């Protein structure tokens, strides 16, 4: 049987787009063995001209050091008029490169997991191959940017009802929008081991465990939060995952700790760490939030990227699975409050987390894509 080619349009602007695409690829391989040949393309790197070809390298410094500017830009482009201007600029910069990517060779299905790669590649594809379906998989939990929503696509898969409402406000026809969930790694599907077994396997003590992370790049005030938790002398052990931020891992390892602290660089077994923990403290990355829910883990948000992550905060707070505190001392105080004997907040958050979790989302999306191809 000939394999059908699926082309994923993404970019390493943050870790979430790649994680989402990889989760769907793994789900396609598991549900339909040998039927699909999936390729991931970083469109900014492969198709863009200066300055957009530097977007993946500039994303981290920009979002970390010019947060306000980033948020303002995000909001400015989130209107119908300015969105049109953005599309014109994208066409000027990306058109040639996108034409090249979509023709080498022409795929059987195109899936975008990035807000910037929807209208333009969909139009280019229609010009060459009008029958090849184009699907968008939105990976923002609530207030997704309007660039995600192109009424010309065949299907738009969104993670939550909130995102569906935004899609419809942005002009997406109701019958093209499906709420399925955020695609997360299949490693988050059922695990029979207990929390105590996970702790033992990871070399942790049998003690209340707090997991501190900042996305794939170790973003946010992780050092200050760790210090505040250490000063508070809480009866906990702390696991800090610094991701690819090596400088942060070195700084953390150089500290003198009062509480047991386990410092990790980039880990490839995030589900194990999450299942060993009682609470996660993280910036509002959509991937990490949905992974935490899949592990029934309460969430204390320590910050969010203005614009694209505001909606993720709303999702956590309105969903009753956590809270937001930006100041490190406030974070330590709230953790102390939640751990006070008789306080049932963490138990309530954990129960709601299990209700809101959609660990099968990647598998369901794989089936939806298969269906789109069958219908084409
Ligand atoms: N992650 C990981 N190992 C690490 C740190 C992070 O695998 O050491 C993964 C995490 O599980 C999640 C992704 O990186 O899947 C981060 O995505 P998110 O949407 O939370 O944030 P982003 O990095 O895109 O801002």
Nearest protein CA to atom 14 of ligand 1, as residue: 216
Q: How many other CB atoms sit within 10 Å of the CB of residue 39?
A: 12
Specify the range with the lowest mean pLDDT, choosing from 10-19, 173-182, 336-345: 10-19
- Residue 59 Cβ inside 6 Å of ligand 1? The answer reads no
- Residue 291 Cβ inside 6 Å of ligand 1? The answer reads yes
Q: CB under 8 Å to 267, separation ≥6 — which residues?
A: 241, 273
Q: CB under 8 Å to 219, separation ≥6 — which residues?
A: 60, 63, 64, 243, 245, 283
Strand partners, 238: 210, 261
User: Distance between CA atoms of 113 and 21, rounded to whole angstroms?
Assistant: 7
What pLDDT shows up at residue 305? 87
Q: Specify whether domain 4-186+360-375 bears CATH 3.40.50.2000.
A: yes
- Residue 218 Cβ inside 6 Å of ligand 1? The answer reads no
User: Distance between CA atoms of 352 and 296, rounded to whole angstroms?
Assistant: 8
What pLDDT shows up at residue 79? 86
Shortest-distance atom of ligand 1 to CA 17 = 24
Is the distance from CB of 328 to CB of 225 less than 8 angstroms?
yes
Name the token pair of 69: 């500017």
User: Distance between CA atoms of 289 and 319, rounded to whole angstroms?
Assistant: 12
- Helix, strand or coil for residue 35? coil
pTM of the shown model: 0.93
Q: How many other CB atoms sit within 10 Å of the CB of residue 1?
A: 5
Looking at residue 348, the DSSP 8-state letter turns out to be H
Fold agreement (4-186+360-375, 190-356): yes
What tens digit of pLDDT does each residue of 108-135 get? 999 999 999 999 999 999 998 999 999 9
**Strands across the sheet with 261-264, in order?**
261-264, 237-241, 209-213, 279-283, 299-303, 322-324
- Residue 15 Cβ inside 6 Å of ligand 1? The answer reads yes
Shortest-distance atom of ligand 1 to CA 218 = 5
User: Distance between CA atoms of 260 and 237, rounded to whole angstroms?
Assistant: 5
Q: Where are the domains positioned within the chain?
A: 4-186+360-375, 190-356
- Residue 220 Cβ inside 6 Å of ligand 1? The answer reads no
Q: Specify whether domain 190-356 bears CATH 3.40.50.2000.
A: yes
**pLDDT band, very low/low/confident/very high, at 2 (cuts 50, 70, 90):** confident
Mean pLDDT on 142-151: 92
Rounded percentage of the chain residues whose pLDDT exceeds 90 = 78
Mean pLDDT, the chain, integer: 94
288, 291, 322: residue to mutate for ligand 1 pocket, most atoms within 8 A of CB: 288
Q: What is the largest CA-CA distance in the chain?
A: 64
Rounded percentage of the chain residues whose pLDDT exceeds 70 = 100
What tens digit of pLDDT does each residue of 276-332 get? 999 999 999 999 999 999 999 999 999 998 888 889 999 999 999 999 999 999 999
State the DSSP H helix or E strand holding residue 93, giving kind and residue range, or none if neither.
helix 80-102
60 pLDDT above the threshold of 80: no
């Amino acid at each position: 049987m000939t394999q059908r080619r699926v082309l994923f349009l993404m970019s390493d602007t943050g870790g979430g787009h790649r994680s989402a695409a990889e989760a769907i690829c793994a789900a396609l391989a598991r549900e339909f063995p040998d039927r699909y040949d999936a390729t991931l393309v970083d469109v900014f790197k492969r198709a863009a001209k200066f300055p957009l070809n530097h977007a993946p390298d500039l994303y981290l410094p920009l979002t970390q050091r010019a947060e306000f500017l980033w948020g303002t830009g995000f909001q400015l482009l989130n209107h119908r008029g300015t969105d049109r201007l953005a599309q014109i600029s994208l066409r000027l910069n990306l058109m040639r490169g996108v034409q090249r990517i979509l023709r080498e060779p022409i795929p059987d299905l195109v899936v975008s997991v990035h807000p910037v790669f929807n209208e333009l590649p969909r139009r280019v594809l229609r010009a060459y191959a009008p029958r090849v379906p184009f699907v968008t998989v939105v990976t923002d939990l609530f207030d997704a940017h309007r660039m995600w929503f192109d009424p010309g696509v065949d299907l738009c898969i969104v993670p939550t009802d909130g995102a569906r409402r935004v899609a419809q406000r942005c002009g997406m026809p109701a019958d093209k929008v499906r709420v399925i969930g955020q695609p997360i790694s299949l490693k988050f599907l059922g695990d029979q081991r207990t929390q105590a077994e996970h702790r033992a396997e990871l070399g942790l003590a049998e003690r209340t465990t707090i997991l501190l992370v900042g996305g794939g790049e170790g973003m946010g005030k992780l050092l200050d939060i760790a210090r505040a938790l250490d000063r508070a002398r809480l009866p906990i052990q702390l696991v800090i995952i610094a991701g690819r931020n090596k400088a942060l891992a070195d700084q953390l390892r150089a500290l003198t700790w009062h509480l047991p602290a386990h410092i990790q660089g980039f880990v490839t077994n995030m589900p194990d760490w999450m299942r060993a923990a009682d609470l996660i403290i993280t910036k509002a990355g959509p991937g990490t939030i949905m992974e935490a829910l899949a592990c029934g883990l309460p969430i204390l948000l320590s910050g969010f990227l203005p614009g694209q992550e505001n909606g993720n905060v709303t999702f956590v707070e309105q969903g009753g699975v956590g809270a937001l505190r930006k100041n490190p001392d406030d974070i330590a105080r709230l953790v102390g409050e939640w751990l006070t004997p008789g306080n049932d907040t963490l138990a309530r958050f954990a129960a709601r987390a299990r209700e809101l979790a959609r660990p099968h989302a990647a598998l369901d999306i794989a089936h939806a894509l298969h269906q789109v191809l069958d219908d084409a």
